[in-house]
Structure 1
Amino acid sequence: MRKIIIASHHKMATGIKDTLNYITGERNNVSALSAYLTNTPIQEEIDALLKGVDQEDEVVVFTDLLGGSVNQSFAKYTARPHFHVIIGINLPIVLTIALKPDDTYLTAEQIRSSLDEAKEQLIYVNDFITNRPEDEDDE
């Protein structure tokens, strides 16, 4: 079983999860952690999300800031087998991982490849439009 956690400061995680569900339909294996909206310590929120997750379960966590408290709180779990933490949330990377078949564990190479694909979606549109061939049709 693969569990996906989208975790951020404030409400970014909830928004991405909501958009993911809009595009793909409700996904029971995706959770959002919008940290610091309540007085609940982040570790308690993480413990609640990981309750019932076994060692053989796969967990993919997306966090918002490298070195941020949300990321640091999840990074300590990377020693567990099949526990992946990815920094830099954007919809393309979450979609790519969420839509991968979950009948086998993700490999590090699959995750790296997915990250490369998501990075290609970061485009300065002004340059993209300027450099586009004249005869290319608009969609």
Structure 2
Amino acid sequence: MANQFLIATHGRLAEGFYESVKFFNSQIENVHYLNAYVNHNDFEMEFIEKVKELSGLSLIVFTDIPGGSVNRIASKHMATFGYKVISGINLSVLLELVFSTENMNEETIERLVTSSREQLVFMNKLIEEMEGKEFTDD
């Protein structure tokens, strides 16, 4: 059974991530999202309903801010519903996980999260270092 992914964030960020995933594969059906605090004030109830809808499936929940209310709610219910939570979502790691054919066990998730930390790059510094290297390689 395919892994299921639920993106839950403050505001409409979750929907934006979802639409970006659909941009890369419009046929994808295992990605879901919840925009917190946009249409309803009881995000926790809405979250629990969505998780129940996806219960029985291998579920990974992505949240935006590790210390934020969305993540606290997701983390609060992970033992009850048996899903995994990854916080600090970015598009690179989301795409890597969603399009991976690997079994999303804890080791795989930890490896992908660790590799995603290297994807946050200060480009000015990187380009400066690369340009400096070009001149010293001759």
Structure 1 equivalent of residue 129 of structure 2: 131
Structure 2 equivalent of residue 112 of structure 1: 110
Structure 1 equivalent of residue 67 of structure 2: 67
Cα drift, residue 108 of structure 1: 1.1
Please tell me the residue identity of whatever aligns with 1:60: I
Deviation per residue, 1:72-110 (Å, 9 max, x gap): 1110232257511011010011011101226x4x22110
Cα drift, residue 128 of structure 1: 0.8
Pairs aligned (count): 132
Deviation per residue, 1:27-81 (Å, 9 max, x gap): 21111111011234112211331233334x2110110111211001110232257
**Structure 1 runs of 4+ off > 4 angstroms?**
none
The whole-number CA distance in structure 1 between the counterparts of 2:47 and 2:112 is 25
Structure 1 equivalent of residue 45 of structure 2: 44
1:89-108 → structure 2 map (5 Å cutoff):
89-101=89-101, 104=103, 106-108=104-106
Cα drift, residue 25 of structure 1: 2.5
1:2-13 → structure 2 map (5 Å cutoff):
2-13=3-14
SS at match of 2:134: coil
The whole-number CA distance in structure 2 between the counterparts of 1:42 and 1:81 is 17
Question: Which stretch has the larger CA shift, 112-121 or 43-52?
Answer: 43-52
The whole-number CA distance in structure 2 between the counterparts of 1:70 and 1:129 is 36
Per residue, is there more helix in 1 or in 2? 2
Taking only aligned residues, the RMSD between alpha carbons, in angstroms, comes to: 1.9
Structure 1 equivalent of residue 28 of structure 2: 27
Identity %: 30
Cα drift, residue 11 of structure 1: 1.1
Unaligned runs of 5+ in 1: none
Please tell me the residue identity of whatever aligns with 2:96: T
Please tell me the residue identity of whatever aligns with 2:91: L
Please tell me the residue identity of whatever aligns with 1:100: S
Unaligned runs of 5+ in 2: none
SS at match of 1:37: coil
Structure 2 equivalent of residue 83 of structure 1: 83
TM-score, normalised via structure 1 length: 0.85
TM-score, normalised via structure 2 length: 0.85
